[in-house]
Amino acid sequence: MTPSMGAAELLVEKFGPGPFPVVARAPGRVNLIGEHTDYNEGYVLPFAIDRHTEVALRPREDMRASAYAASFDEFFSVELVPKEFRPQGGWPDYLLGILRELSAYIDFPHGLEAAIVGNVPLGAGLSSSASLEVALAVGLARLYGLELWGLELVRLCQRAESGFVGMPCGIMDQYAAYFAEPNRALLLDTRAMEHQAVSLELSDVAFLVIDSSVRRTLTNSGYAERRHECEEAARWLAERFPERGIASLRDVDEGTLAAVSSKMPKQLWRRAKHVVEENARVLAAARALGKGDVETVGRLLYASHRSLRDLFEVSTPELDFLVEWGLEHGALGARLVGGGFGGVTLHLVPERTKEAYLAGIKEAFRRAFGRPAPCWEVHPGLGAKVLNEG
């Protein structure tokens, strides 16, 4: 397989000639700001990146689902009996989870063959999993003739990851992978499930992603623990303020937290403080972008990182090093992206300095940690689409 081979070509290489396939693509994403707020019914500001997962799908005459994933150089095959699906561990669970969810809509008339390619870095916090889920769901819905799109499809993908894969994620990643618009971020209200497009046409600013090379799997990291702590914090506050109708940390303001700072369990208070202040930062960043005020956006990114480091405690020495280096070497703003415990940082850098900035941060990281820090410039791109149809 050549590095540039598309999913349709790979399908023929791995499974031989056959019917013309459905080909679907979905992007990874960067969350500009708003971390650990989506599962607290708060605000997020993601945008799709110009890195994708692409799947090619075609029918089989029997009832087997067979797939090949180029990123792992692995085949997987299973009889298409959704009620008997069991998690396998690894990438096949995303296919199985989507198929199981689709079985609520249809009795599968035939099996399938699938080839999967992609260039979204795995485990880096750029949502390779949601990219795969959404690409599969869009392609499989088309393959089986299902009228399934929009928020219904996004929720299906989230259920597959939380209910089958076992990752209790919010909905931001799948939502961004599906609904993203070129040169726009999505100001998403995860309670109302509505978004506003926010322009990212910033001609003098580059979006750089710097990888700490610390890989983590959120299903066995502290992500689920943080989510549980947020739920506990909301319950604690709801009991103290029954008149306020607190259903999640979305319903809490900074004044309420200040009033209980000496009474609330310290760890729960810190988690809640991050979420409450992060929601405010998201809204402030969207307002600043509307004015083209990238300096304010940058300050908000640094504040977000400090909060994730000190209050939410999901950073690592590598992530902190990358952000602090940026602060000292001319970045307008930087922060960790994704759930934390590893992955990447996002840097807003003046366009005119980006080449020198990249060279400098890569060399500094290599000296500090003895390994490379892969870097990419990313551009806000389009959400999921069907590229062709069988």
Interatomic CA distance for residues 118 and 215, integer angstroms: 18
Interatomic CA distance for residues 279 and 287, integer angstroms: 13
Neighbours of 241 (CB within 10 A): 15
At 266, phi and psi to the nearest 5? -55, -40
Asked if 343 contacts 209 with a C-beta cutoff of 8 angstroms, the reply is no
Which tokens in the block code for residue 121? 């870095």
Catalytic, out of 173, 189, 251, 320: 173
Asked if 52 contacts 118 with a C-beta cutoff of 8 angstroms, the reply is yes
Q: Give bridge partners of residue 22 from the DSSP assignment.
A: 57
Tally the C-alpha atoms within 13 A of residue 376's C-alpha that lie toward its C-beta. 17
Which tokens in the block code for residue 270? 């810190």
Tokens 């020198």 sit on residue: 356
Tally the C-alpha atoms within 13 A of residue 335's C-alpha that lie toward its C-beta. 28
Residue 173 catalytic? yes
Contacts (Cβ under 8 Å, ≥6 apart) of 343: 123, 124, 125, 126, 211, 212, 214, 215, 216, 319, 336, 337
State CA 67 to chain mean position distance. 23
Tokens 């399934």 sit on residue: 148
On the 0-12 / 13-18 / 19+ scale of CB atoms within 10 A, 18 is middle
Return the active site residues: 173
